[in-house]
Amino acid sequence: MQRGASTLGDGGIVEAEVAVIGSGPLGIVVALELGRAGHQVVLVESGQRRPDPRIQELSDLVGDDRYHVAMDLAVRRQLGGTSNTWGGRCVPFDPVDFDSRPWSTGAWPIAYEEVAPYFQRACDWCVCGQAVFSAHDLPELAGHSLIEGLNDGHVLSSDLERWSLPTNFRLVYGDELGRAPSVDLITGLTCTRITLAPDGSAVDHLVCRSAFNTSVRVKAGIYVVATGGLEATRLLFASNDRRPQGIGNHSGHLGRWYMAHMQTRAARLCLARPEDEVSYDHERDRDGVYVRRRFTFSRDWQHRHNLANAAIWLVNPELADPGHGSAVLSMVYLLLRSPAGSRLIAEGIRRDHLRSAVAPRLGPHLRNIATGIGPAARFALAFGYGRYLRRGRKVPGFFVRSTSSRYLLMYHGEHLSHRESFVAPTSQLDALGMPRLRTHLHFSQADIDNAKRGLTHLDEYLREQNVGWLELRDSDIDSFIRRSLYGTGGYHQTGTTRMSEDPDDGVVTRDLAVHGFGDLYIASTSTFPSSSQANPTFTGIAFAVRLADHIRHLLGGGKS
Ligand SMILES: Cc1cc2nc3c(=O)[nH]c(=O)nc-3n(C[C@H](O)[C@H](O)[C@H](O)COP(=O)(O)OP(=O)(O)OC[C@H]3O[C@@H](n4cnc5c(N)ncnc54)[C@H](O)[C@@H]3O)c2cc1C
């Protein structure tokens, strides 16, 4: 059932077997996995079904971290959380991420083989088909490669990303949440503090407040914080009455090791033979799910070269630069710049598409459109239908075949975990009295060197295979890469409640319980000790499913 916080009396108590805080993808998965098994769950959500600027504003940051975006671009405080705006790219973390790597400070206390069995259930939640992430394992895709004649070696080009609908968890699971007899969904209620029992070893209750100043207590046997990476960290910091440094900060790791991703479009791929076929666009598997090929580096090669994990894929040229000569790209550029632009895609993605070193000039874009009006109109009809009008699965994006045999590349790599990369509470309070966070994302020279080495390895491999080479876009490549990182952090929030074997090394256990607690769990990508090449939500959902199984096991009973 669903009820609004305004229906609760001030000072009331809500009770359940399990309390889940936050109804983003991870919170919904934990709540429904348990609810479907018959356990009584209360799901406390700060937002409503519709966006509300007063609630969204609760997440605002303090300070001016040049690498970080504003929180209204990075998270959505609404039923369904940030899945209301996410892109839907589903990629699992790789075995190498879980390996011991002497140069990495992000050691996982759990093996890949313990997480991989949950990938199919994560696919089911994300509606992204089979948990198959290599073109070799899909007969319908196995017959060709990313570039004609290119074989897998220490560089692979058969690894796939999958795309969900994109699944908006509010739209897909909202009705079930509202109807489920065992799930008590309370919207418009923000958890502002986790209050511990007098001896500090267990949770006594949650303090929750609504925007209408109703204050209630939530009591349960088990508590799951699923408020998103930064908000989970913030709630633990704010819960400091019995633990002055915050819950889970016993060894000083809470808020540390904040990671994003290394993202740069620093290089172009040049084809050796213009006539070679390139799988630059999305393909569909036999279930109709959109997938896309990318370059990755083999596990063995990464170990041998102490190389951070990375994926590299083909992207369109910068839209803003009319030098691309494409009517379609110029048309999209002008649409995204127009007042309608922010209605077409998530604002963060729109701004990313408009980023360019080139000054905006209208005339050349109009000339591009005039010379290719036919193809541009056909594209607008086909893409507009597939992306916005068709029911169900949407086209994730579009790619234009290069007429110059050169393709811009996106390097999307692991951001190393650095102790000096952190989030911390400040003395500024939000409207409900919670301390606001400031962020300090740190990218080291080693991060930049990893990106350069990854691009160099790819260049050498393409040359060896005689299919092409890379050209760098700037002679001062270090500065170019660093500039590309400005304003990219905050979308993927990892590291700040890291999991560890030893309580001295982290915040939560391999089972996501806060060290020293048997009743308090964190379901968030912030528990990941390293950031991988992969966007984190899919693996976060796999961990959420695993956590729900763990809690079911603890509680026993319920429907199987
Ligand atoms: C534009 C954009 C595109 C993205 N694209 C991708 C992508 O393609 N692939 C990918 O893997 N990831 C992507 N992401 C990231 C992805 O959206 C997040 O990783 C994911 O939503 C995290 O899920 P979550 O459930 O942990 O947190 P969220 O989705 O952030 O949900 C947290 C929920 O908790 C609620 N909440 C917060 N604090 C409290 C509180 N104190 N009390 C009660 N409720 C609270 C919030 O209102 C929210 O509903 C994208 C993000 C953005 C912004």
Q: State residue 128's pLDDT score.
A: 98
190-225: burial string, b at 16+ Cβ within 10 Å, e else: bbbbbebeeeeeebebbbbbbbeebbbebebbbbbb
Q: Could you tell me the distance, in angstroms and rounded to a whole number, from the CA of residue 408 to the centre of ligand 1?
A: 29
Residue 357 has pLDDT above 90, yes or no: no
| Separation CA 425–CA 439 (nearest Å) | 9
Query: Residue 284 carries which side chain, given as an amino acid letter?
Result: R
Please calculate the CA angle 353-359-364 and round it to the nearest 5 degrees: 90
| Separation CA 29–CA 505 (nearest Å) | 28
Backbone φ and ψ for 421, nearest 5 degrees, come out as -100, 110
- Whether residue 218 has its Cβ less than 6 Å from ligand 1: no
Residue 560 has pLDDT above 50, yes or no: no
Q: State residue 211's pLDDT score.
A: 83
Mean pLDDT over 502-512 rounds to 98
Backbone φ and ψ for 183, nearest 5 degrees, come out as -115, 125
- Whether residue 25 has its Cβ less than 6 Å from ligand 1: yes
Q: Could you tell me the distance, in angstroms and rounded to a whole number, from the CA of residue 245 to the centre of ligand 1?
A: 25
10 Å Cβ neighbour count for 102? 7
Mean pLDDT over 449-456 rounds to 98
Q: Which percentage of the chain shows pLDDT scores above 70?
A: 99
H-state helical runs in 385-535 = 445-464, 477-485
In DSSP terms, which residues pair with 155 in a beta bridge?
Answer: 297
In DSSP terms, which residues pair with 521 in a beta bridge?
Answer: 224, 513
- Whether residue 188 has its Cβ less than 6 Å from ligand 1: no
Mean pLDDT over 126-142 rounds to 97
Residue 155 has pLDDT above 50, yes or no: yes
Q: Could you tell me the distance, in angstroms and rounded to a whole number, from the CA of residue 198 to the centre of ligand 1?
A: 33
- Whether residue 416 has its Cβ less than 6 Å from ligand 1: no
Residue 224 has pLDDT above 70, yes or no: yes
| Separation CA 25–CA 31 (nearest Å) | 10
Do residues 432 and 5 make contact, with C-beta atoms less than 8 angstroms apart? no
Handedness of CA 124, 125, 129, 132 (dihedral sign): negative
Both tokens assigned to 501: 């074997």
| Per-residue CA distances from 262 to 122, 182, 489 (Å) | 25, 42, 9
| Separation CA 206–CA 210 (nearest Å) | 13
Angle between the N-to-C axes of helices 327-337 and 347-354, in degrees from 0 to 180, rounded to the nearest 10: 130
- 232 Cα nearest atom in ligand 1: 38
Q: Could you tell me the distance, in angstroms and rounded to a whole number, from the CA of residue 380 to the centre of ligand 1?
A: 30
| Per-residue CA distances from 147 to 280, 284, 321, 457, 468 (Å) | 9, 17, 26, 17, 9
- 79 Cα nearest atom in ligand 1: 49
Residue, of 232 and 11, whose pLDDT is higher:
232
Q: State residue 169's pLDDT score.
A: 98
Mean pLDDT over 503-516 rounds to 98
Q: Could you tell me the distance, in angstroms and rounded to a whole number, from the CA of residue 145 to the centre of ligand 1?
A: 34
Both tokens assigned to 232: 């989970």
- Whether residue 47 has its Cβ less than 6 Å from ligand 1: yes
Mean pLDDT over 182-203 rounds to 97
Do residues 20 and 44 make contact, with C-beta atoms less than 8 angstroms apart? yes
Q: State residue 475's pLDDT score.
A: 96
Residue, of 360 and 202, whose pLDDT is higher:
202
Mutating to test ligand 1, I would choose from 537, 541, 547 the residue with most ligand atoms within 8 A of its C-beta, which is 537
| Per-residue CA distances from 387 to 25, 369, 399 (Å) | 22, 21, 13
Q: Which residue has the tokens 């910091």?
A: 237
Q: Could you tell me the distance, in angstroms and rounded to a whole number, from the CA of residue 537 to the centre of ligand 1?
A: 8
Do residues 45 and 29 make contact, with C-beta atoms less than 8 angstroms apart? no
- 26 Cα nearest atom in ligand 1: 25
| Separation CA 554–CA 209 (nearest Å) | 29
- Whether residue 490 has its Cβ less than 6 Å from ligand 1: no
pLDDT tens-digit series, residues 139-148: 999 999 999 9
- Whether residue 247 has its Cβ less than 6 Å from ligand 1: no
Q: Could you tell me the distance, in angstroms and rounded to a whole number, from the CA of residue 142 to the centre of ligand 1?
A: 34
Comparing 85-89, 192-196, 390-394, the range with the smallest average pLDDT is 390-394
Q: Could you tell me the distance, in angstroms and rounded to a whole number, from the CA of residue 228 to the centre of ligand 1?
A: 5
Q: Could you tell me the distance, in angstroms and rounded to a whole number, from the CA of residue 285 to the centre of ligand 1?
A: 27
Mean pLDDT over 429-446 rounds to 98
Q: Could you tell me the distance, in angstroms and rounded to a whole number, from the CA of residue 82 to the centre of ligand 1?
A: 4
Rg of the chain taking only CA atoms, in angstroms: 24
Please tell me whether the peptide bond between 51 and the residue prior to it is cis, using omega within 30 degrees of 0: no
pLDDT, the chain, mean: 96
| Strand residue runs (E) in 281-421 | 283-284, 290-297, 310-315, 406-414
- Whether residue 23 has its Cβ less than 6 Å from ligand 1: yes
Q: State residue 355's pLDDT score.
A: 84
Mean pLDDT over 331-340 rounds to 93
Q: Which residue has the tokens 């088990």?
A: 222
Do residues 530 and 293 make contact, with C-beta atoms less than 8 angstroms apart? no
Q: Could you tell me the distance, in angstroms and rounded to a whole number, from the CA of residue 22 to the centre of ligand 1?
A: 9
Q: State residue 557's pLDDT score.
A: 60
Residue, of 11 and 125, whose pLDDT is higher:
125
Ligand 1 atom 27: residue of nearest CA: 228
Do residues 312 and 146 make contact, with C-beta atoms less than 8 angstroms apart? no
- Whether residue 412 has its Cβ less than 6 Å from ligand 1: no
Ligand 1 atom 21: residue of nearest CA: 82
Please tell me whether the peptide bond between 25 and the residue prior to it is cis, using omega within 30 degrees of 0: no
pLDDT band at 558 (very low <50, low <70, confident <90, very high): low
Backbone φ and ψ for 463, nearest 5 degrees, come out as -65, -45
**Predicted structure pTM score:** 0.97
Residue 35 has pLDDT above 60, yes or no: yes
Q: Could you tell me the distance, in angstroms and rounded to a whole number, from the CA of residue 213 to the centre of ligand 1?
A: 25
- 234 Cα nearest atom in ligand 1: 41
H-state helical runs in 345-405 = 347-354, 362-371, 373-384
Q: State residue 4's pLDDT score.
A: 85
| Separation CA 411–CA 473 (nearest Å) | 13
Angle between the N-to-C axes of helices 25-36 and 537-555, in degrees from 0 to 180, rounded to the nearest 10: 30
Q: Which percentage of the chain shows pLDDT scores above 90?
A: 92
Both tokens assigned to 367: 């000339």
Q: State residue 212's pLDDT score.
A: 74
Q: Could you tell me the distance, in angstroms and rounded to a whole number, from the CA of residue 437 to the centre of ligand 1?
A: 17
Ligand 1 atom 19: residue of nearest CA: 537
- Whether residue 375 has its Cβ less than 6 Å from ligand 1: no
Mean pLDDT over 262-288 rounds to 95
- Whether residue 235 has its Cβ less than 6 Å from ligand 1: yes
The closest of 534, 518, 523, 533 to 499, measured between CA atoms, is: 523
| Separation CA 115–CA 92 (nearest Å) | 10
| Separation CA 120–CA 551 (nearest Å) | 19
| Strand residue runs (E) in 39-112 | 41-45, 89-90
- If you ran DSSP here, which 8-state letter would residue 134 be given? B
295: three-class secondary structure by DSSP: strand
Q: Maximum Cα–Cα distance for the chain, whole Å?
A: 75
Q: How many residues does the chain have?
A: 560
Alpha carbon 89 to its chain centroid, in Å, reads: 8
- Whether residue 349 has its Cβ less than 6 Å from ligand 1: yes
